[in-house]
Amino acid sequence: MSEDAGLSAQAGSKSLGKKRGNAIVLTDLNTEEAPPPRTYCGIAELDRVLGGGMVAASATLVGGDPGIGKSTLLLQAAAAFARSGVKTIYVSGEEATAQVRLRAQRLELGDAPVQLAAATNLRDILTTLETEKPGLAIIDSIQTMWSDQVDSAPGSVSQVRAAAHELTAFAKRRGISVVLVGHVTKEGQIAGPRVVEHMVDTVLYFEGERGHQFRILRSVKNRFGAADEIGVFEMTGRGLQEVTNPSALFLSERGTPQPGSAVFAGIEGTRPVLVEFQALVAPTPHSQPRRSVVGWDGSRLAMILAVLESRCGIPFAGLDVYLNVAGGLKVTEPAADLAVAAALLSAREDSALPEAAVVFGEISLSGGLRPAPQTENRLKEAQKLGFTTAIAPSGGKARASSGMTMSQMPDLTSFVGEIFGAG
Ligand code: TYD
Ligand code: MG
């Protein structure tokens, strides 16, 4: 930057900046500055969630339930980064190096040039990092690390905070990327990853339903890329395999359309993903009907039920309502509203939705419908998976080029009338 002799004004303001402290006027900043260097590990699902590979000297937190597969994922990542030329050290505070090596062999990574260390004392780890000077250090897990400067047990809030702070500060100073693994813990017991979230550049959560074989890596914060990006993996005996076409996976158990089922054409981060919403609506034996949701927001469900009742005159009082996202994905997009309403109505009326149709659109409290962003991407994905019709709000930017038939609805009442006849 300073060699940039042509920018004399900038050089001038720099010396000014020195006199006034370190503040720089925004317009004086060199916008041509190169983006931070990144390394791709070759596991495309991971590289994308990171925002396009690992940024040098960045700090990343990977959180998740115990047993969800974090150590497996990160050992695979360590091997991949090491193979792509990054000096990588994997520090386990939970397993002996022999155990980690066995795991690596099981994952067929025995020959990857990863350095392994078993340590929990922060001072030892910093010394190791100081002498080894790796490009990437993985700390599994932050809850097992302890600093002798802090007078409490490993896993306590003050230890986790101190360890994370020291590791990230040290790594930034020395240009090392660090990945901290954090177990999500039952509230109140020991410190979970939330304590660390604000100290790192990127926060990823590894999620999945226990009964299901696939896992989702989701970015909830990313200083270097889009939040809400997901990577999809399948668990196998040989570790995690990438799922390059998640829509096909999420819809794989679906046969002919059943009442209560609606396929939502969603967007997760930068990628379109189709998922099936399943609803069951049945008379309740209880005085208070049940509302049960898996994979979606419970209060959003209450809102949709209220809108259906007060704007379209379709009561759900006296009916139990169960709503489920098939496959264990957590959907957060407001555009899922219309798919949820479709699944609920289809279940209530015991009438299947049109075959080969996808649904998307946001519902407002007035019963109006709002077009969803990235309509074109949703349509393309739906078409790729063999769908021919899209039920969506009017006014979305849908072009004929996608080859899908658009069934456009001005509001929820028209939707109910059109799809389920008069309502
Ligand atoms: P592990 O990576 O140890 O989970 P965490 O570090 O989050 O606690 O995985 C838990 C168990 O699941 C472990 O015994 C290995 C097994 N496993 C597989 O067999 N295949 C896989 O693809 C994954 C992710 C895990
Ligand atoms: Mg582990």
Distance 69 CA to ligand 1 centre (A): 4
How far apart CA 209 and CA 350 sit, in angstroms, is: 28
Selection from 275, 218, 208 nearest residue 245 by Cα: 275
Distance 269 CA to ligand 2 centre (A): 27
Please give, one letter per residue, the 3-state secondary structure of the chain.
Answer: CCCCCCCHHHHHHHHHHHHCCCCCCHHHCCCCCCCCCEECCCCHHHHHHCCCCEECCCEEEEEECCCCCHHHHHHHHHHHHHHCCCCEEEEECCCCHHHHHHHHHHCCCCCCCCEEEECCEHHHHHHHHHHHCCCEEEEECHHHCECCCCCCCCCCHHHHHHHHHHHHHHHHHHCCEEEEEEECCCCCCCCCCHHHHCCCCEEEEEECCCCCCEEEEEEEEECCCCCCCEEEEEEECCEEEECCCHHHHHCCCCCCCCCCEEEEEEEECCEEEEEEEEEEEEECCCCCCCEEEECCCHHHHHHHHHHHHHHHCCCCCCEEEEEEECCCCCCCCHHHHHHHHHHHHHHHHCCCCCCCEEECCEECCCCEEECCCCHHHHHHHHHHCCCCEEEEECCCCCCHHHCCEEEEECEHHHHHHHHHCCC
CA 344, 347, 351, 356 dihedral sign is positive
Compute the C-alpha angle 323/66/70, nearest 5°. Answer: 100
Distance 237 CA to ligand 1 centre (A): 9
Task: Please state which of the four CATH numbers 2.60.40.180, 1.25.40.10, 3.30.230.10, 3.40.630.30 is assigned to the domain occupying 249-420.
Answer: 3.30.230.10
Phi, psi of 402 (to 5 degrees): -70, -15
Q: Which residue's alpha carbon is at the smallest distance from atom 14 of ligand 1?
A: 67
Find the ligand nearest to 63 CA: 1
Question: How high is the mean pLDDT in each 10-residue block of the chain (423 residues)?
Answer: 40 44 74 79 95 94 93 97 96 95 94 95 95 96 93 90 95 95 72 86 90 88 90 93 90 85 93 95 94 95 97 95 90 96 96 94 96 92 93 76 85 93 57
Residue 8 has what pLDDT? 40
Find the ligand nearest to 141 CA: 2
Ligand 1 atom showing the smallest separation from residue 67 Cα = 8
Ligand 1 neighbours (beta carbon < 6 A): 64, 66-72, 235-237, 239-240
Please give the structure tokens belonging to residue 128. Answer: 């190791």
Which residue from 68, 72, 143 has its CB within 8 A of the most atoms of ligand 1, so it is best to mutate? 72
Rg (the chain; Cα; Å): 25
Ligand 1 atom showing the smallest separation from residue 94 Cα = 6
Please give the structure tokens belonging to residue 2. Answer: 């300073």
Ranges of each domain in the chain: 3-244, 249-420
Residue 191 has what pLDDT? 66
Distance 76 CA to ligand 2 centre (A): 13
- Which one-letter amino acid corresponds to residue 266? G
How far apart CA 291 and CA 281 sit, in angstroms, is: 10
Distance between start and end Cα atoms, the chain: 67
CATH topology classification for 3-244: Rossmann fold (3.40.50)
Compute the C-alpha angle 224/94/122, nearest 5°. Answer: 65
How far apart CA 349 and CA 48 sit, in angstroms, is: 41
Q: Near ion ligand 2, which residues have CB within 5 Å?
A: 71
Ligand 1 atom showing the smallest separation from residue 106 Cα = 19
